[in-house]
Amino acid sequence: MKKIDRQEHKLDATDIPLGRLASRIAVLLRGKNKVNFTPYLDQGDKIIVESITKIKFTGNKLNNKIYYRHSQYPGGLKKEKLKDLIERKGHAEILRKAVYGMLPSNKLRNDMLKRLIIK
């Protein structure tokens, strides 16, 4: 088995919309930017995101975007607005959720997400 050559990418989140930044990170974490990309191998790079508090939210997403979660009990659907989630967990959790949703849902996803460092 060959050793995977992982590079380190530093991204500045200043004035970049959340979705555009998350999709760029997902491509780099998955390794789709490399010539020898293989879907069933984890060949992605390490990503360091800086100045996450200066990320840009376009439109009225702070008030209108809603995150859902369920407790698996009847009537256990919880709703939370984007601005409330930022107050409770911070900007890093918002970016992590966005990137998590853009990665493939298989055994490799958690290992890919471990290489995302948000400062």
- What would the two tokens of residue 11 be? 């991204």
Q: What percent of the chain has pLDDT over 90?
A: 95
pLDDT digits (tens, 9 = 90+) for 33-86: 999 999 999 999 999 999 999 999 999 999 999 999 999 999 999 999 999 999
Look at residue 54 in the predicted model and tell me its pLDDT: 97
pLDDT digits (tens, 9 = 90+) for 10-48: 999 999 999 999 999 999 999 999 999 999 999 999 999
C-alpha radius of gyration, the chain, whole number? 16
Look at residue 56 in the predicted model and tell me its pLDDT: 96
